[in-house]
Amino acid sequence: MKSMTAFSRQEVTVEWGSLNLEMRTVNHRYLDINMRLAEELRFFEPIVRQMIADSLSRGRVDLALKYQPALTNQIDLNQNTVNQLFELQNRLQQQNPELKELTTAEILNWPGVLEMSAQDEEQMTQVLSTLLSKALEELQQQREVEGNKIQQLLKQKTVEIKSIVDDVRHILPQVSQQFRENFQEKLEKMDVEIDSYRLEQELVIFLGKQDIAEELDRLDVHLDEVEKILTTNQAIGRRLDFLMQELNREANTLTSKSVDIRLNNASVEMKVLIEQMREQVQNIE
């Protein structure tokens, strides 16, 4: 099981320059990739997206890739882009003579002014792919470590909820008997003569409406499914999120049907544990 939270930083220096890659992932309903690439590395964007999609199934991914060319590196100047930039500058200065001319640094930093040769691009692709692979590997390791911690926590909470379900099932006969006795005692205080057969029918109907055996059985089924899913080696976040909704629904039904303070306390405690699990599930891939 993997968390969706991780961070990786990778750097490499070669003869034509240095690269700095930072990746951060957080929880998200789907795979959401956001990247900031140096202009010279825009060609690498499709490869980045594909490699991330092959490695991760969910989460928001923020990636920043910086490039610092080496002083000895051969860089081509895109003269067409420079000419268009000068032409645009002249037109603007004609409209507003007070505008300052672009500096050399501003021109060189303009997107598309500097270009890499095809050979350089191929070499960079190999280096970048290796760099990104290392970053994704580190991310996966961190996500697994964090995922294992969440897994143990969810297992513990599941056991605690199962224990509550068992306790509730154990006291149900006591709750029913106590309700009968309290109801009979109130009738005796009212000094009203009621047909015993009719009274028994009414009690059966009322207790039937308050019966929570089905809810307890469904809770068992859902909890067993949670334990089963926690052992699978795949993306399970959405499935667990659905089960948390189902568990919460059954716990709410227990509260609405509660006729005893012990049942009410048990359902409240159960909902607290389910909410704690739900918060953790939001971060599972």
Residue 152's CATH number: 1.20.140
What would the pLDDT profile of 208-259 be if each residue is shown by its tens digit? 555 688 888 999 999 999 999 998 888 899 999 999 999 999 999 888 877 7
Judge if 111 and 213 occupy the same domain.
no
Name the domain count of the chain: 2
Judge if 139 and 212 occupy the same domain.
no
Query: Is the overall model pTM greater than 0.75, yes or no?
Result: no
- Alpha carbon 2 to chain centroid distance? 10
**Chain position carrying tokens 């692709």:** 125
What are φ and ψ of residue 145, in 5° steps? -60, -50
Judge if 68 and 190 occupy the same domain.
no
Judge if 202 and 227 occupy the same domain.
yes
Please state which of the ranges 42-56, 93-107, 151-165 shows the lowest mean pLDDT.
93-107
Q: CATH number of the domain that 108 lies in?
A: 3.30.230
Give the structural domain span for 156. 147-281
Judge if 157 and 141 occupy the same domain.
no
What would the pLDDT profile of 160-193 be if each residue is shown by its tens digit? 999 999 998 888 777 766 666 666 666 666 666 6
Q: Considering the domain boundaries, does residue 91 fall inside one?
A: no
Judge if 132 and 204 occupy the same domain.
no
